[in-house]
Every structure is written in C-alpha cells, then in structure tokens.
Amino acid sequence: MSSPVQNIANRLTFRQLQVFKSVYELSSYSRAGDMLGLSQPAVSNQIRQLEQTIGQPLFEYVGRQLYSTAIAKRLAECTFSVFNEVQRFQNDLAAETGLISGELKLVAVSAAQYIVPYLLRAYSDLNPDVTISLEVVNREKAIERLEKNRDELTIMGMVPNDKPMLSIPFLGNKLIAVAPKGHPLLQEEEVTLSMFLEQTLLLREVGSGSRLTLELHCQKQRVRFQNKMVLGSNDAIKHAVLAGLGVAVLPRLAIISELKLGSLVELPIKDFPLRRSWCLVSPQGQHPTPTMRSFIDYVQQNISQFEPMFQRMIDQ
C-alpha cells in the first residue's frame, strides 16, 4: 500500500508546480496567466488540482488581495529548489558542448543599480546565449535572500561578516557629503562633520549599507546626528536634497550628472569620501552553475578595468 507522500509525488505534475510558482511570486492568477500564456480559468484549474492533491488550500483572498497560506510558503521553498536544480542541469548540459547558456540570476542592492548595467553590458556581449535576470532590493532583503539561498549572485556593499559568504570586492564605492546649490554651508571656509550633522540629514532606512557606513564613521568620530529624515531610496534622497530638504551622504556614482551640473555640491569634510567596495557575493558552499562561474570569472578578470571605466564617466 502506497503512503500519502508517495501518492502526492505520483500525482504532482511539473506544470502544476510551474503555475504555482508563478502565482506565488506574482500574487495574482491573471498576471501568472499572462506570463505563462494561459487563461485565468486555466491557472485556477491547475491550482485547484494541486490543492486537491495536497489536501490543503494554497491561496486565499482577503478582499481583493491574494495571499499565500503557510503550506504554500513551504511548498514554494521546495518548488524553488526543484526549478533551480532543473536550471543547473540545463546549464550543465550546455557546458558539455562548450557553450554558456541558460539564466544568470543576479540580485543588487538598490544603491548598486547605477553600476550594474555597465558591468552587464560587456558580459552580455561575450555571452549572448545567457539570459540575465536582475532584481533590485534593499540590503535587508538581499541578506534574507542570501540566507535562504534564493539567488545565485548578489552585488552589495557592506557584506555581513557574521554569515558564511564568499565575497569578491571589484569596485570602489565612494560616499560623499552633498548639499544643494546655494546651501549656507557652502559659504563656510571650513565645514566640519559636526556642522554637517547639525543640518537636517536625509538618510536611508535602518540597515541600509550607506547608512551603516555613515553610522560607523560617526561612532568612530564620537559625533551624533540628531535632525534626520528617512527616505526609502537613494533617488528619493537625491531629489529631497535638490528640493532643499536637507543634506546627505550619497554614492558619487549615483549623482554624477547633478555634480557636473552644479545642482548638488560636494562638501569638503575631513575624512570624506567614506570608502567602501562593491562586492560580488554568494553563499559559501554553493555549487556554481556554468553561468555563475562565467560571471565570476568575467568580474575577476576585469577588476583592473572597472575603476578606470567609472572614473572616465566622472571625468567626462
């Protein structure tokens, strides 16, 4: 007599898992159908059959919003593992022929979105058969995804040192203090860190890399910032500074155009810019797919070229 577990394994189909994965990620039957080329009734039917096989509901509506049940979250973990293994197998098959193909899954913290396209351009030219999937998230989410082994490679600045990660620093990240054109600090002969921090300071959320870097620097200098406004992205902070809401510490590469136009001005504070590195990160012990290996090799082989490339963008 077969066990309930065997019954589930015998009745599950790859298509059901594919549909489930799409609905889970998109939180929508209709969007999942659009992505898979299926009608909404067809998607609903696949999910209903899957729920009957499992004997548990996977999704439920609260108002008009679709939510995943606890069992759906557990099934999602298994499903992601299955699809990741199938993708690795497909990549391994391609590698046997000497061709690099398949999907490269990258995650970048939001502050890195200004540099990643330039990294990918040359890599994509060298590997035209590789499909690149890039997701931009905040640092907290990036760390959470690394812990769950959800992604192949992550591009971030401050790598957590309390977790087993492999990290390759590949590009300097200079954080500079800026104020809008016409700000009173620009009239001062000398601007100290304390004077800067007395202004309304525009910051990212707690846990972001740029905020952590500034907090560590302030701790080292034994100074505190009091007046602050928290915004959810570097773009929001940039526009808030431009609007005269305060001052900020931002990655130089994120505000090249504004610095050239003079709408934002770098403040010459002692010990600035704050220097960090952008790093390519993956969970330690993860078996690299051929696409992962090709991107890691590309980054390592071109590290000496990245700094001059971005410096030319600043100088132009």
Question: What is the number of alpha carbons within 13 Å of residue 146 lying toward its C-beta?
Answer: 29
Q: Is the pLDDT of residue 58 over 80?
A: yes
| Alpha-helical segments (H) within 222-276 | 234-242, 256-261
The average pLDDT across 164-172 equals 89
What would the two tokens of residue 73 be?
């979250």
pLDDT above 70: percentage of residues in the chain: 94
CA 147 to chain centre: 14
Question: What is the number of alpha carbons within 13 Å of residue 256 lying toward its C-beta?
Answer: 12
Of the two residues 264 and 128, the one the predictor is more confident about is 264
Q: Which of 72, 80, 89, 86 is nearest to 151 (CA)?
A: 80
Name residues whose C-beta falls within 8 Å of residue 210's C-beta, 6 or more positions apart in sequence: 111, 157, 175, 204, 234, 249, 250, 251
85-94, 116-125, 157-166, 236-245: which has the highest mean pLDDT?
Answer: 236-245
Portions of the chain given CATH number 3.40.190.290: 102-316
The average pLDDT across 189-199 equals 92
State the amino acid at position 172 in one-letter form.
Answer: G
Portions of the chain given CATH number 1.10.10.10: 4-76
The average pLDDT across 276-298 equals 86
**Per-residue model confidence as pLDDT tens digits over 62-111:** 888 899 999 999 999 988 888 878 777 766 666 666 667 778 889 999 88
State the amino acid at position 138 in one-letter form.
Answer: N
Phi-psi label, residue 189: left if phi above 0, alpha if psi -120 to 50, beta otherwise: alpha
For the domain covering 102-316, report its CATH number: 3.40.190.290
What would the two tokens of residue 189 be?
């002969």
Q: pLDDT at position 5, please?
A: 52
This prediction's pTM: 0.66
Question: What is the number of alpha carbons within 13 Å of residue 106 lying toward its C-beta?
Answer: 26
Q: Which of 255, 208, 266 is nearest to 232 (CA)?
A: 208
Q: What span, in angstroms and rounded, lies between the C-alpha atoms of 163 and 150? A: 15
Q: What span, in angstroms and rounded, lies between the C-alpha atoms of 124 and 130? A: 7
Q: Is the pLDDT of residue 148 over 80?
A: no
For the domain covering 4-76, report its CATH number: 1.10.10.10
Q: Is the pLDDT of residue 17 over 80?
A: yes
105 burial (CB, 10 Å; 0-12 / 13-18 / 19+) is buried
Q: What span, in angstroms and rounded, lies between the C-alpha atoms of 244 and 185? A: 12
**Per-residue model confidence as pLDDT tens digits over 227-281:** 789 998 899 999 999 999 999 999 998 999 999 999 999 999 999 999 999 999 9
What would the two tokens of residue 24 be?
């889970």
Q: What span, in angstroms and rounded, lies between the C-alpha atoms of 308 and 289? A: 30
Q: pLDDT at position 1, please?
A: 44
